[in-house]
Structure 1
């Protein structure tokens, strides 16, 4: 026996609601699929139109409004939103995928949305809450350990002043070095604690590069950015990865005067290139520079950068020529990149 199911049957059976927003008032719904009654979502209407914002949980309204407003202001072709919405007497987590189009004057022309109802947003919210509690506990424990290490280092320094035996002085110095390394490792854990804790969104690539540069002293090195109006789907941890890469230039790129940051298409995705005109990196070290502890500094920077980038499925390589400068190439997959001139 063959069972045939029409696309319309599948649509009404799926946990998804389709609706069209009003162009003149983006928070009003012009039309909506009939299966919203099945889930009790967006069933109340006034003057023939349903107001979606009033149905969204009050703690989510500000974030949703700002993200939608930002998408319209930047003329984005679409946006993904995650929020809680009224479903009868309760609220349910949903994900909205809104497709946006504009007329020649830049005004919204059509806004079509799919409201996906699944357990994934709930699981994400629970994971986020659990991670938040765990990180708070880790922060407190780390703070207490650092306080104890500070006391140990203080006593070791006093002991060095009191001891005259060369052997004991040598032992004390080694103990102090070990304690300082433990302290550095603990401080390092602060930097990756919030990886995966921030919400993903479409962000301007040039803006986030500029934000990263604001955290670094690059003078007198000049930086040139050529990424157009390209967008990337990431969270703010991507900025931290860029900071770690860029911070290496004034510290290790001897003789560097300029840095060029550019984006070019590459296969289905794009290649973000960070290139300086400094001393470059010898061939034997090109793969080791991403190892934990390698290098003259703390040895954390490029290691952390590579690990953060891997979350976004971005790979990084150093393909510069020794004596001509370093060239870091970040291969960004197409599903998180929108290249715009």
Structure 2
């Protein structure tokens, strides 16, 4: 992700400490946003030639130095770094997002960075560790249950071939249907497997929407995307959530010919809307469309989408007009949104 806004403008639009690196020594600063004192970062700085590395926690210095060096060797336009930085008398986790530009000779001509103040890096680390443990355990349990269900289904099928009583045959078929539903639900839980295991990073919203659309067959439906260069602090599960919303359109939005996807700024963040001009959703169904098992399909798509979005603090509602089209609105909180009009 590339930022070309100067630090003087950048720190005013998002809750960050912004600074410009000295291109002759990237671990020195040329300019720091005035709010650095508010966060207790670079408190002794005058804004010129402040040593960045000395403020970073000792155990993190080697990793961030190596990652930044690799990005420069590859002439990447940007790099995301996660480390602990001194804030007064203690160290605090931050996300640094550094935008790099080069001349034709491959030399760096500008390096703008900002430090995002958030507890999310710590929360992400704890969530990852916990998820690894629980997912390993859940995978084993799920595997064992599926094996037992397969055996039950096999015995039920054999029983149906042996018994002749119509009532018992009917009971056997109902038992098979119930066991199949349990089996499908267990397989569905695999969708949750990677929640909390994928690394969060700043992702271009327009890029991830395009990736989601590439996974969906919308047929003749036209897509209009009204998007700027905004970005989100999420993982790849956000794309999965979008896919679950979009794949419903050709199936349920009868008569739809157009879909409009747009983002607008709100007082508390942003509103991402996905709107079609199909048959819409009736009022009596609006309250249940995110329930597991509701709908004509397996009833899992929108349920999963809502749960995945909730991981990022994003809420989703359907506010379309029945008979005129469906409109899914995703409310994105400001801490994970870099809105660039």
What TM-score range do you get, normalising by the shorter chain? 0.7 to 0.9
1:163-205 alpha-carbon deviations (Å, 9 max, x no partner): 2211111111111111111111111211112212222111011
1:320-335 alignment to 2 at 5 Å? 320-335=320-335
- Give the corresponding residue for 2:192: 192
Paired with 2:125 and 2:165, the residues of 1 have a C-alpha distance of 59
Paired with 1:24 and 1:168, the residues of 2 have a C-alpha distance of 83
Paired with 2:132 and 2:260, the residues of 1 have a C-alpha distance of 38
Change (3 A) 1:149 1:109: same
TM-score by length of 1: 0.72
SS in 2 for 1:239: helix
**Structure 2 residue 148 is the aligned partner of structure 1 residue 148:** yes
Match of 2:77 among 73, 76, 80: 73
Change (3 A) 1:292 1:95: same
- Give the corresponding residue for 1:337: 337
CA contact (8 A) 1:72 1:108 kept: no
TM-score by length of 2: 0.72
- Give the corresponding residue for 2:63: 56
Change (3 A) 1:322 1:65: farther
1:126-141 alignment to 2 at 5 Å? 127-141=127-141
CA contact (8 A) 1:80 1:96 kept: no
Change (3 A) 1:152 1:232: same
Paired with 1:35 and 1:73, the residues of 2 have a C-alpha distance of 21
Figure out how many residues of one structure are paired with residues of the other and give that number.
297
CA contact (8 A) 1:19 1:32 kept: no
- TM-aligned CA deviation for residue 238 of structure 1: 0.9
CA contact (8 A) 1:20 1:32 kept: no
Paired with 2:265 and 2:69, the residues of 1 have a C-alpha distance of 33
Change (3 A) 1:287 1:69: farther
- TM-aligned CA deviation for residue 33 of structure 1: 5.0
Paired with 1:191 and 1:33, the residues of 2 have a C-alpha distance of 45
Structure 1 residues 251-260 or 105-114, which shifts more?
105-114
Structure 2 portions without partners, runs of 5+: 1-17, 30-48, 86-90
- TM-aligned CA deviation for residue 105 of structure 1: 8.5
SS in 1 for 2:81: strand
CA contact (8 A) 1:313 1:332 kept: yes
Paired with 2:268 and 2:122, the residues of 1 have a C-alpha distance of 32
1:84-119 alpha-carbon deviations (Å, 9 max, x no partner): 99xxxxxxx974544657899896535467699xx9
Change (3 A) 1:22 1:322: same
Paired with 1:73 and 1:236, the residues of 2 have a C-alpha distance of 21
- Give the corresponding residue for 1:287: 287
1:211-235 alpha-carbon deviations (Å, 9 max, x no partner): 2222222223222222122111111
**Structure 2 residue 157 is the aligned partner of structure 1 residue 157:** yes
CA contact (8 A) 2:260 2:275 kept: yes
Paired with 1:271 and 1:235, the residues of 2 have a C-alpha distance of 19
- TM-aligned CA deviation for residue 37 of structure 1: 8.8
Give RMSD over aligned pairs.
4.0
Paired with 1:327 and 1:150, the residues of 2 have a C-alpha distance of 41
Change (3 A) 1:35 1:129: closer
